[in-house]
Amino acid sequence: MIPQEKLAELSKFLEQDKDRIEKELGVLKNDEFGDAPGMDNEEADETEEMSNTLTTVQVLERRLIDIKDALARIAAGTYGFCIRCHEAISLELLEADPESSLCKNCKAV
């Protein structure tokens, strides 16, 4: 069982991280590429930059989903238990990866 004060700390961290990621996604998704036609090298650079941005957006969107799931588990009272084997997730793991939904053993599988 996670002590209430530690649960509040983890919840606050998750909320702050959620807000930060939502803002970052808003900025990344509003970037405009290809404003004006230019030289081939410029277009290649823009294409590479856009590809990198899209990859970053995908990673952040996945992380945001994990954070929202963790916050939902906190609200439901199921946070800190593995969604696969239903055993407790170590506090050490939750402090390192607060949005974790799997225990150390299930992560290894």
Tokens representing residue 97 in the block:
């990866």
Instruction: Give, in order, the Cα–Cα distances in Å from 52 to each of 40, 46, 47, 101, 102.
Output: 18, 10, 9, 28, 29
Using CA of residue 95, residue 108, residue 106, residue 17, what is the dihedral sign?
positive
Residue 49 has pLDDT above 80, yes or no: no
Average of per-residue pLDDT values in the chain: 89
Output the pLDDT for position 44: 58
Name the percent of the chain in helix, strand, coil, to the closest 5. Answer: 70, 0, 30
pTM of the shown model: 0.80
Tokens representing residue 2 in the block:
């996670």
Q: How confident is the model at residue 47 (pLDDT cuts 50, 70, 90)?
A: low
Output the pLDDT for position 16: 98
Q: For the chain, give the percent of residues with pLDDT over 90.
A: 73
